Structure 1
Amino acid sequence: MKTYLTAAALAAFATTAGAHYGMIIPSDNMVSQEDGRSVDLTLSFSHPFEGLGMVLETPEAFTVTHEGETMSLLDTLEPAQVMDDAGFTTEYRMERPGTHVFAMTPKPYWEPEEDAFITHFTKTYVSAYGDDEGWDTELGLKTEIVPLSKPFALWSGNVFQGIVKLDGEAVPYAEVEVEYYNEDGSASAPSDLMITQTIKADAEGVFTYAAPTPGWWGFAALNTAEEPMQHESEDKAHELGAVIWVHFEPWAAQ
């Protein structure tokens, strides 16, 4: 008989099987007039399946981009406990229809277990008032996943496609880690190998993933910076993560 490990059990064993993710989770990714005109956003650096938080220092940048205009929201961030560790929250008022892209550039994080620094350039897309204009917006980040499928209005079971870019160029055969945000801790994994799934992009930097269940799914495309960073007077690798968070809706026929 197979033994299934719950997220709580995995946390109790302090497993490191799950990947770290920069996270921007909005209270809604398709805001309607009936929902009110604001969206709440939670920022963290965490193990999303296991529900284990890590310290997120004040980011270097936190922005929203809409109709080609980018505005800093860094001064709006309020410290908060996210998964029992330091994160941030904010509220953003949606003044106009269309797609709003929220992006975070954190300070590089030193990870002793990997003997490397980690910087996850993280973003998510929110549609306002039934207008999806701008759903494929590219921000020109150091590294990012540019959506080829609309990053909202997806049913569970739909595929999500994106193209991995580094310095504006597609990354052939980029490695992409995929993880479910197990927000209520109810999901379980039959093996540590199932906590974070790994896929590869094709020769054009394009990857495809079908989400098996509704909820928030994180995609992190990982590359190593050409320039190392210094830690205690030694050169250390610097992992650059292009992270996007996408929500899948429950299929209406269920």
Structure 2
Amino acid sequence: MKKILFIVVAFSLYANAHFLTFLSNSDNVSNKNESNIKFDISFIHPFEQSGMTMEKPKLYLNSTKKSIDLKETKKLEHKSWLADYKINMPGVYKFFVQPQPYFEPAEEKFISHVPKLIISSFGLEDGWDEPIGLKYEIIPMTKPFGLYSGNLFQGKVLHNGKAAANVEVEVELYNEFGLKAPSDAHVTQVVKTDDNGVFSFVMNHKGWWGFAALIEEGELKYKDGKSYPVENGALIWVKAY
């Protein structure tokens, strides 16, 4: 009985989705007083607000040619990261995080999620639907800033630049509101892309929403010498008001 109980508890700890959480203090800069963007980068279960240790990633703007310095901190009792960036010019800024792959023993696989965050500034909104060129990427088909709760968000999943059909997209709210899910099944919502790689989801609450399109591809070696599959995640974070 104790063994069965342990298995059930262990499964419940890992049943819900991991998200590389990438948030900012603003998604739309309208004046110079708001132009200092602060980033919060962590590896957590966003709805349940439970954390995991995150080794130092890399933070980029628009391409891997421009990196941004990170500072170590703690979030939910685990190592996480902070960053700052001063926006001085009008434009659409596309930030993304390249993590070190995380090995999940319970699932016997590596997890490598690359989240994207799009910020507009000083009234210029052109180009928010253009890809950065990542191997796994979500292109927003709904303007990803200035959103309300209740809005329908649509995105297109690209794999090597091509539309990825029939891909599962996990969705979670960053639950800083103390909301309680009716059951474990309600914690992580799941939708799938259509033949054109497009998914849709109605954000029914204000706050940050994470969308993670998961594509298993490739293998990496763990310290035990064995090779394990890699869960590659194309992520985007958007905020509903």
Under a length normalisation based on structure 1, what TM-score does the superposition of the two structures give? 0.86
Following TM superposition, where does structure 1 have runs of at least 4 consecutive aligned residues deviating by more than 3 angstroms? Answer: none
User: In structure 1, which of residues 161, 176, 198 is the aligned counterpart of residue 154 of structure 2?
Assistant: 161
SS at match of 1:182: coil
SS at match of 2:14: coil
User: In structure 2, which of residues 96, 101, 104 is the aligned counterpart of residue 103 of structure 1?
Assistant: 96
User: In structure 1, which of residues 49, 53, 56 is the aligned counterpart of residue 54 of structure 2?
Assistant: 56
**Is 2:203 the counterpart of 1:211?**
yes
CA deviations over 1:115-134 (Å, ceiling 9, x no partner): 00010011111111222122
CA deviations over 1:209-228 (Å, ceiling 9, x no partner): 01001110000000111x21
**Is 2:67 the counterpart of 1:72?**
yes
Q: What is the 5 A alignment of 1:89-128?
A: 89-128=82-121
The residue that corresponds to 2:123 in the other structure is 130
Taking the aligned partners of 1:194 and 1:159, their CA distance within structure 2 comes to 19
Amino acid aligned to 1:143: Y
Amino acid aligned to 2:85: Y
The residue that corresponds to 2:45 in the other structure is 47
Amino acid aligned to 1:197: Q
SS at match of 1:15: helix
Q: 1:190 to 1:69 in 2, by over 3 A?
A: closer
SS at match of 1:193: helix
What 5-or-longer segments of structure 2 have no aligned partner?
A: 1-10
Q: Determine if contact 2:14/2:106 at 8 Å carries over to the other structure.
A: no
Q: What is the 5 A alignment of 1:1-254?
A: 15-33=13-31, 35-59=33-57, 61-65=58-62, 71-73=66-68, 76-184=69-177, 186-225=178-217, 227-231=218-222, 232-249=224-241
Could you tell me how far 1:162 is from its partner in structure 2? 0.6
Could you tell me how far 1:154 is from its partner in structure 2? 1.1
CA deviations over 1:120-170 (Å, ceiling 9, x no partner): 011111111222122113111120101111111111111111111111111
Could you tell me how far 1:14 is from its partner in structure 2? 6.7
CA deviations over 1:217-241 (Å, ceiling 9, x no partner): 000000111x211122222111000
SS at match of 1:228: strand
Could you tell me how far 1:56 is from its partner in structure 2? 1.1
What 5-or-longer segments of structure 1 have no aligned partner?
A: 1-12, 250-254
SS at match of 1:245: strand
SS at match of 1:155: coil
RMSD, matched Cα: 1.8
Amino acid aligned to 1:16: Y
Taking the aligned partners of 2:130 and 2:36, their CA distance within structure 1 comes to 21
SS at match of 2:117: strand
SS at match of 2:51: strand
Q: 1:58 to 1:69 in 2, by over 3 A?
A: closer
Taking the aligned partners of 2:15 and 2:226, their CA distance within structure 1 comes to 27
SS at match of 1:198: strand
The residue that corresponds to 1:3 in the other structure is none
CA deviations over 1:89-109 (Å, ceiling 9, x no partner): 111100111111110010111
Taking the aligned partners of 2:75 and 2:30, their CA distance within structure 1 comes to 26
SS at match of 1:22: strand
Could you tell me how far 1:16 is from its partner in structure 2? 2.8
SS at match of 1:189: coil
Taking the aligned partners of 1:236 and 1:215, their CA distance within structure 2 comes to 35
Taking the aligned partners of 2:64 and 2:39, their CA distance within structure 1 comes to 19
**Percent of pairs identical after alignment?**
39
Amino acid aligned to 1:155: Y
Could you tell me how far 1:39 is from its partner in structure 2? 0.9
